[in-house]
Amino acid sequence: MTDLTEIKAAARKAAFARRKAAFDARLPGAAGRLSEVLAGYRGVPISGYMPIRTEIDPLPAMAEASAYGPVGVPVIQAAAQPLKFSCWTPEGALKDGPFGAKVPEVDDYFDPEILIVPLVAFDAQGGRLGYGGGFYDRTLEGLRAQRPTLAIGFAFDAQETEGLPLEPTDQPLDMVITESRVLTF
């Protein structure tokens, strides 16, 4: 294991603990700020995510956005491959996908222009620490090569940290929305 791999593993472990504590203490309405921001992008194709474990829940904001335009969720294709995004609706049928996240039962892929990105930790410069598979980094790199793509990290305030172990391939976030604030970079 490389030093950076060990450093990232330690950073993830600490961040997961902070996220779990924030999840356990969460109040209703955590997606309110996310809804406020997305209201300014009505009709723009958006991808959210199906929350797993202790991730902050974007589903209320996604449901609201789906009344105005396409909303999708990520579908993992294979290791080391970019994500694809399948159309999602609040009442749509779901099936089990990789890593315990639900995905739409019927594949209906599209390219979103805004990605609501889950994360383990973030910093005040738009850095993001994910789960380590590189799925969002590869995906954002590919989408951004085609056209401007807005990456919005959605997290609890407690997930902010300093000194993230980032690599040149890590794609920056354009914005982070927490239960109490909006950070733009």
Instruction: Chunk the chain into consecutive blocks of 10 residues (it has 185) and report each block's average pLDDT, rounded to whole numbers.
Output: 83 96 94 97 97 96 98 94 97 90 94 97 96 94 96 98 92 97 96
Question: What's the confidence (pLDDT) of residue 100?
Answer: 78
For the chain, state the CA radius of gyration: 15
Question: What's the confidence (pLDDT) of residue 2?
Answer: 67
Whether the CB-CB separation of 125 and 147 falls below 8 Å is answered with no
Question: What's the confidence (pLDDT) of residue 5?
Answer: 87
CB atoms within 10 A of CB 135: 20
Whether the CB-CB separation of 77 and 133 falls below 8 Å is answered with no
Question: What's the confidence (pLDDT) of residue 118?
Answer: 96
Whether the CB-CB separation of 51 and 118 falls below 8 Å is answered with yes
DSSP 160: B
Question: What's the confidence (pLDDT) of residue 85?
Answer: 98
Between CA 9 and CA 180 the distance in angstroms is 28
Q: What residue ranges define each of the domains in the chain, with the CATH number in brackets?
A: 3-180 (3.40.50.10420)
DSSP 122: E
